[in-house]
Structure 1
Amino acid sequence: MDIVLQIKEEYRKFTKSEKKVADYFIENYKDAINESIQSIAATTDTSPATVIRFVKALKFDGLQQLKLAIAADMDSQKPDITDEIIHPKDGLCEIVEKNKRNLVKSIEKLYALMDMDLIEKSIDAIDLAKKVYLFGVGASGIVCYDINYKLSRIGKDVVFNNDIHLQLVNLNFITKEDACVCVSYSGNTKETVLVAEIAKKAGAKTVGICCYGKNELSKICDITLRVPHDERELRLGAISSRNTTLTLLDTIYLAITHRHYPEVLHDIEATRDLIKRLRD
């Protein structure tokens, strides 16, 4: 995991004093690995307690563990690409190049920030569920439609509907044997938060997918998977968030198929043959 990138992604959740420590690590991470808690506190005009809280907020046991993680990342640091926003005067070639850069960078961020323990728990939750309920609104609904298709092809019992009201009706039948995957880039979509609350109350395993930072969805779900906070001021079609979420769910799908490869291969071949009959 890219620790400096993680600090940037989680920046909004820090307190005012913790942001001073975060700024120091972002700008001086090479120097930070040689500093003590006391010296970092003095440099950032904070206290040792603030530095410790900052380290704990990043889920490290202590400063030494954080410094070791930064040191491990240093060899793979890549230069940041600037000015990726599409401007009114950009030509087609510039739009294509910026779109490519945005897509590549957002996917690289996703993989750099992946928490493998949480990914594994999500795989277990979906794989072991009697039924898998999917919920997302707008662009998140498109992502749900895609994973619904994939999971259905390998024999999973999936419940998904683009109509919000029908999806809420479906939730009347969710049980503790099921899993509910709730997708919301902001993590604050009212409908998605409501679905997570209903599923959690029913005892189902809840998996939330949202961006980094504090939000309602992450407070509710048993497992929260994060995608980079990578959308610009003008979200032109929610491109980055859609692609990172698709990639994240594709990873889970591939891991599930790998667990049941012989049976899954048979199911995929069977559905392919059925579709082929329509084309012949």
Structure 2
Amino acid sequence: MDIVLQIKEEYSKLTKSEQRVADYFIDNYKDAINLSTQSIAAITKTSPATVIRFVKSLEFDGIQQLKLALAADLDSDKDYTGCEIIHPEDELEDIIEKNKINLINSIEKLYALMDISLIEEAIDAIDNARKIYLFGVGASGIVCYDVNYKLSRIGKDVVFNNDIHLQLVNLNFIKKEDACVCISYSGNTKETVLVAEIAKRAGAKTIGICCFGKNELSKICDITLRVPHDERELRLGAISSRNTTLTLLDMIYLAISHRHYPEVLEDIEATRDLIKKLRE
């Protein structure tokens, strides 16, 4: 949704009351098309003047122009069966091309919506932590495996287990000097929210990675990093969200590596030599 993406891009520039209107449009754009300015103001507990200011911030002349733009987006948003946008009649070449376009679009949205100051906060928190606890289930767990491997190779003390029971055992030892990275695309995964709550109570720095919009994880975490809200409800797999989350965490990994480059180079060479011995 191009208009929804535009709203997300402008979000940080809005006032608190305008952000309530923005949240409503992000989560309920289909309903918003049929509502009056007064109705939207009542639902968001703002005022008609606030709704109008929000519309103007998006450079629309009025609410009707914004509704027309949203309607045009809805017309072009076909009922696909997955985020890969595949159809029964597609050839292999079509699937490859669509996947490429999907990947490029997702990454471009990630960069367009990126908050550098929040990423810097996350880098500081992870880099300065005594231990780094990672948590995610399903596709988010796969991302955790990847970042666990990378951070471990540069000498970071990382704690990760995809089993929720073992992770809870690990969290029994989390301290205020630690950081806990919780990954959930929806931001409402019950297990991930529970882990964030436990880490928060322990005084650890909590970093959430989730999509845009209101969710439980963003309410709890000290730092919330966002990925584009471009997965459809009915999907063949968490492809776009996995790719954008991996890319976001790769940036953090590279930034930390850059801070400690000489030592990191030595660590990577040492682990490479150890792995080589397995092949001799």
Q: Output the TM-score relative to the length of structure 1.
A: 0.77
| CA distance, structure 2, for counterparts of residue 121 and residue 152 of structure 1 | 20
| CA distance, structure 1, for counterparts of residue 96 and residue 128 of structure 2 | 42
One-letter code aligned to 1:199: A
| CA distance, structure 2, for counterparts of residue 264 and residue 134 of structure 1 | 21
Residues 18 and 50, structure 1, Cα contact 8 Å, conserved in 2:
no
In the alignment, what sits opposite 1:258?
A: 258
In the alignment, what sits opposite 2:172?
A: 172
| CA distance, structure 1, for counterparts of residue 191 and residue 10 of structure 2 | 24
Instruction: Give me the identity figure in percent.
Output: 78
Task: Tell me whether 1:50 sits opposite 2:33 in the alignment.
Answer: no
| CA distance, structure 1, for counterparts of residue 210 and residue 22 of structure 2 | 24
| CA distance, structure 2, for counterparts of residue 91 and residue 16 of structure 1 | 40
| CA distance, structure 1, for counterparts of residue 6 and residue 147 of structure 2 | 27
Residues 3 and 132 of structure 1, relative CA distance in 2, 3 Å threshold: farther
C-alpha deviations, 1:210-235, integer Å up to 9, x for none?
A: 00011000000000000001112432
SS of match in other structure, 1:173? coil
Q: How does 1:188-267 map to 2 (within 5 A)?
A: 188-267=188-267
Q: Output the TM-score relative to the length of structure 2.
A: 0.77
In the alignment, what sits opposite 1:91?
A: 91
Gap regions ≥5 residues in structure 2 = 12-18, 30-36, 42-46, 60-72, 79-83
Residues 48 and 117 of structure 1, relative CA distance in 2, 3 Å threshold: same
Residues 6 and 113, structure 1, Cα contact 8 Å, conserved in 2:
no
Q: How does 1:141-180 map to 2 (within 5 A)?
A: 141-180=141-180
In the alignment, what sits opposite 2:119?
A: 119
Aligned pairs, how many? 239
| CA distance, structure 2, for counterparts of residue 16 and residue 180 of structure 1 | 29
| CA distance, structure 1, for counterparts of residue 9 and residue 23 of structure 2 | 17
Gap regions ≥5 residues in structure 1 = 24-40, 56-62, 68-79
In the alignment, what sits opposite 1:27?
A: none
